[in-house]
């Protein structure tokens, strides 16, 4: 075999190897699903806006987890994104914030990726679902979260 034939053979093998598309196994597919919990309609304050926001954000493949709670005036949304996407976090967050503000014009929308706010919203979602929080307490906690969110930015 000549060197030219070996080169052509290597080139063909290289091209055929590069054309193979990777397949996801089930464990990777489960990781790519967005984690969020819809808040039921029998809660103290209707949580339809926060559920709608979660559904909107779930369409972004970078988002891995979403928490959102609303009062009659405020909507607080916290989400996690994939670690390798954090490089462009500021740009991604500003695009989402604009989209959420346009979609929920009647609400004071706060968007955050802060872990503390994510944890607090998880607890509030559970309290709302369990009906273990009053409307007054919810308003106070949301105001505190908004204040905390503004301190971090």
Residue 88 in this model has a pLDDT that exceeds 90: no
pLDDT tens string 125-136: 999 988 889 999
More confident residue, 9 or 118: 118
User: pLDDT-based confidence at 147, cuts 50/70/90?
Assistant: very high
C-alpha–C-alpha distance, residues 49 and 103, integer Å: 10
User: pLDDT-based confidence at 21, cuts 50/70/90?
Assistant: very low
Domain architecture of the chain: domains with CATH:
34-152 (3.30.300)
C-alpha–C-alpha distance, residues 128 and 68, integer Å: 11
Query: Model pTM greater than 0.75?
Result: no
Average pLDDT of span 92-106: 93
pLDDT tens string 34-86: 666 677 656 677 899 999 999 999 988 889 999 999 999 999 999 998 887 77
**CA angle at residue 86 from 65 to 69, to 5 degrees?**
30
- The residue behind tokens 């007054």 is 136
- Contact call for residues 43 and 131 (beta carbons, < 8 A): yes
Average pLDDT of span 8-23: 54
């Amino acid at each position: 075999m000549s060197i030219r034939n070996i080169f052509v053979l290597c080139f063909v093998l290289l091209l055929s190897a590069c054309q193979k598309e990777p397949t996801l196994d089930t464990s990777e597919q489960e990781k790519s699903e967005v984690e969020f919990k819809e808040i039921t309609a029998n809660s103290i304050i209707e949580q339809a806006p926060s559920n709608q926001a979660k559904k909107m954000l779930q369409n972004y493949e970078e988002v891995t987890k979403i928490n959102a709670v609303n009062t009659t005036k405020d909507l607080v949304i916290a989400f996690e994104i994939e670690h390798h996407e954090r490089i462009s976090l500021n740009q991604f967050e500003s695009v989402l914030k604009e989209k959420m503000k346009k979609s929920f014009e009647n609400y004071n929308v706060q968007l955050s990726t802060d872990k503390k706010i994510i944890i607090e919203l998880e607890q509030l979602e559970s309290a709302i679902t369990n009906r273990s929080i009053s409307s007054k307490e919810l308003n106070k906690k949301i105001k505190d979260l908004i204040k905390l969110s503004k301190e971090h930015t």
